[in-house]
Amino acid sequence: MTEAIVLDQVSKTYGGRAVLAPTSLTITKGRFVALVGGSGAGKTTLLKLMNGLSVPSAGRVLLDGADIAAKPGPELRRGIGYVFQEIGLFPHMTVGQNIGVTPELLGWPADEIAARTDELLDLVALPREIAGRAPSQLSGGQRQRVGVARALAARPAILLMDEPFGALDPVTRAALADDVRALHERLRLTTVMVTHDVGEALLLADEVVVMANGQVLAQAPPCALLAGHSDPVVAQLIAAPRRQAERLAELARG
């Protein structure tokens, strides 16, 4: 299998404090990988290292076998879509302008940007007529869908997502999560998602990476983690959604 992202003994220190211990991690091309763990586990730091938003204190990050340190930031991020937790749409731009901002920076012709915007609105299940609206006129779920569309605008091979569904209600969250997984399959992306919701990670991802205190404790398919793990932190984290599922099953049986 082809390696899309490789972290080779990567570490990160802020102000003399280690937030990520030396870490080696491989993300295989085409996989959907979820990073889970408590606050301060190092999940977002790991994600930002993957697209150069943060520079490692030591070690290397490789994309398709090439060290990202050798690539200018803008060039690197053309091949990587990033969805922020806070969505981060530009309030002074229309929805269409938000989606087309990266292609515009890359010098795409206006008609090509317009066609891509329509295509992406269809992909994320939004009506094309919202392209002329301001982000403030949309619901939270709609804004997050626009955020996903913007991340995909320049046809990246890799999609990084930092708590993309965190601020949404449960129904909207579940619908968008299903749609993101479908987009991952349809566009044949390599997707890495940070989430605090372990149940969501187990349901969506091909592999789950469990982190704590700046360290990777496990990387395995959901079925393997659910079968049990020798690390007590991993076992405790995975046990919570399993208990919830068992309790729901009991309630359903009456």
What is the rounded CA–CA span in Å between residue 196 and residue 121?
A: 27
Spatial CB neighbours of 15, under 8 Å, sequence gap ≥ 6: none
pLDDT band at 116 (very low <50, low <70, confident <90, very high): very high
* Greatest pairwise CA separation for the chain in angstroms: 61
What is the rounded CA–CA span in Å between residue 98 and residue 92?
A: 9
Question: CATH number of the domain that 251 lies in?
Answer: 3.40.50.300
Q: Is residue 141 situated within a structural domain?
A: no
Q: Specify whether the CB–CB gap between 210 and 218 falls below 8 A.
A: yes
Q: Is residue 67 situated within a structural domain?
A: yes
* Structure token digits, residue 106: 């890359």
121 pLDDT higher than 80 = yes
Q: Is residue 112 situated within a structural domain?
A: no
Domain range holding 228? 1-79+193-254
Based on the number of CB atoms within 10 Å of its own CB, is 29 exposed (0-12), middle (13-18) or buried (19 or more)? middle
* Structure token digits, residue 32: 């959907």
Work out the average pLDDT over 127-152. 93
Q: Is residue 163 situated within a structural domain?
A: no
Number of domains the chain contains = 1
pLDDT per residue as tens digits for the range 51-108: 888 999 999 999 989 999 888 877 777 789 998 776 678 999 999 999 999 899 888 9
pLDDT band at 229 (very low <50, low <70, confident <90, very high): confident
* Structure token digits, residue 219: 């990387």
158 pLDDT higher than 70 = yes
